Amino acid sequence: METIIMELIVNSGNARSRAMEAIRIAKNGNIEKAREKLEECETELGKAHSVQTNLIHNEAKGNKTEVDLLLVHAQDHLMNAMTIKDMAKEFVDMYEKFSK
């Protein structure tokens, strides 16, 4: 279970990092590269979401998952990454609009 949790944390952290990179890159005027970083973010979030979905499917099948602080922490990382991704998309769009 710890390996699964660490996958959630690592993939979510990677996604958050790519989203923040996208903002910085867009701020410097390279919108195309920023959008590439957002795609990388989506890929990492997809990996994390897949792990989360497997946990949910197992739970639905009756295989209960012990919820501990580490799992809660991993879920927090995922939700934070998703929020940052949404904000990063808005920032990239805004920087693109203002650069025209």
At residue 35, does pLDDT exceed 90?
yes
Binding residues: 76
Burial 41-57 (b: 16+ CB within 10 A, else e): beebbebbbebbeebee
Reported pTM: 0.91
Q: Using an 8 Å Cβ cutoff, are 41 and 88 in contact?
A: yes
pLDDT of residue 67: 86
At residue 1, does pLDDT exceed 90?
no
At residue 65, does pLDDT exceed 90?
no
The CATH number of the domain where 70 resides is what? 1.20.58.80
Q: How many domains is the chain partitioned into structurally?
A: 1
Which residues does the annotation mark as catalytic? 73
Structural domain harbouring 51: 2-99
- Write the pLDDT tens digit of every residue in 10-25: 999 999 999 999 999 9
pLDDT of residue 100: 79
Distance CA 10, CA 45 (A): 10
Binding residues for Mg(2+): 76
